[in-house]
Amino acid sequence: MKWLHKDLLDVSQLSHAEVMAIFETAGRFQELQERPVKKVPTLKGRSVVLFFAEPSTRTKTSFDVAGKRLSADTFSLAKSSSSLQKGETLKDTALTLQAMAPDAIVIRHWCSGAARFLADRLDCSIINAGDGRHAHPTQALLDSLTLHQEWGDMAGKTILILGDIAHSRVARSNVILLNKLGAKVRLCGPRTLLPPAVKHWQAEVYSDLTEACKGVDAVMCLRLQLERQHDGLLPDLREYARTYGLGPRHIDVANPEVKILHPGPINRGIEISSALADCTDSLILDQVSSGVVVRMALLFLYMTRKGDE
């Protein structure tokens, strides 16, 4: 498939066929993970700027590893080491980066729409690594790839997304992508952590965790984003853990061999019990591995989109 997109801003841009093409490309890179020398010259001479205005460990490292394994030059820019700290606008930072002629910029920013802001102004490819509460397309892609590798076709599977839905760009992108792939999506969390517009999402909404878990094929726990909560939405962590922390009793009512996911970092004993995080049906570490190959696939597709690979 000839890749026609310049930027990846959200999964809503992608057709089902394009998602499958990403998975197929990621699958080809999977074999590279097993080699003694985990590197190919595919993007030699290309450059990727990792512009992370918010803290990140998994996503930033994953993109860095993905770029290096494709032999691209990667350059990291964090808020603390950029002129944003000195009051420079995002527009001026973008223009400065453009003058350095990168082939792609991977951006994480606290403002929803920051990735589109850059995409509308710059000629290079922009890949959204999370913008405010809006979207996290690469996380959704790696989550679905992880399940795709387990099940193949996801049509008819039921997947529960549990926790802090209101502040989660991961939840938003996953709801869109899982529906696109034919899965049924459920959401569960405290009323204060559900967004007002959730009734318009393509998902069933539950307030009782045991009911939400009945008959599901996978449960995706979300991190409690306490840094985004300023209105006393969650006054008591112990009460949250008691009511919405995923434990063995909830899995007992799910389908056999139910899969457990979490985008990380995990707050053990609050969002999920250690017993489930480490169980044989946990795909949490598989998600990390999927993250590298999905991001390799995206860098490859977006940085060679003119057919000059």
- Non-local CB neighbours of 305 within 8 Å, separated by 6+ positions: 2, 3, 4, 5, 6, 125
* d(C-alpha 133, C-alpha 166), whole Å: 8
User: Is 305 annotated for ligand binding?
Assistant: no
- Angstrom distance (rounded) from CA 134 to CA 59: 16
Q: Is 59 labeled as ligand-binding?
A: yes
Annotated ligand binding at 264? The verdict is yes
Q: Which two tokens stand for residue 218?
A: 């996978």
Beta bridge partners of 47: 73
265 known ligand binder: yes
What are the distances in angstroms from CA 102 to CA 12, 51, 259?
A: 25, 12, 39
Residue 135 · residue 172 · CB < 8 Å? yes
Residue 136 annotated as lining a ligand binding site: yes
Does 190 show up as a binding residue in the annotation? Answer: no
To the question of whether residue 287 is assigned a binding role by annotation, the answer is no
Cα 176 from Cα 172, distance rounded (Å):
7
| 189 annotated to a ligand binding site | no
- Helix (H/G/I), strand (E/B), else coil: 102: coil
Query: Coil, strand or helix: which one is 139?
Result: helix
191 is in an annotated binding site: no
User: Which value, to the nearest 10 degrees, does the dihedral of the CA atoms of residues 266, 271, 273, 274 take?
Assistant: 10
Q: How far does CA 88 lie from the centroid of its chain?
A: 28
Token pair for 289: 């591995």
Give me the amino acid identity at 229. Q
86 has binding-site annotation: yes
Binding residues for L-aspartate: 86, 169, 223
Binding residues: 58-59, 86, 108, 136, 139, 169, 223, 264-265
Binding residues for carbamoyl phosphate: 58-59, 108, 136, 139, 264-265
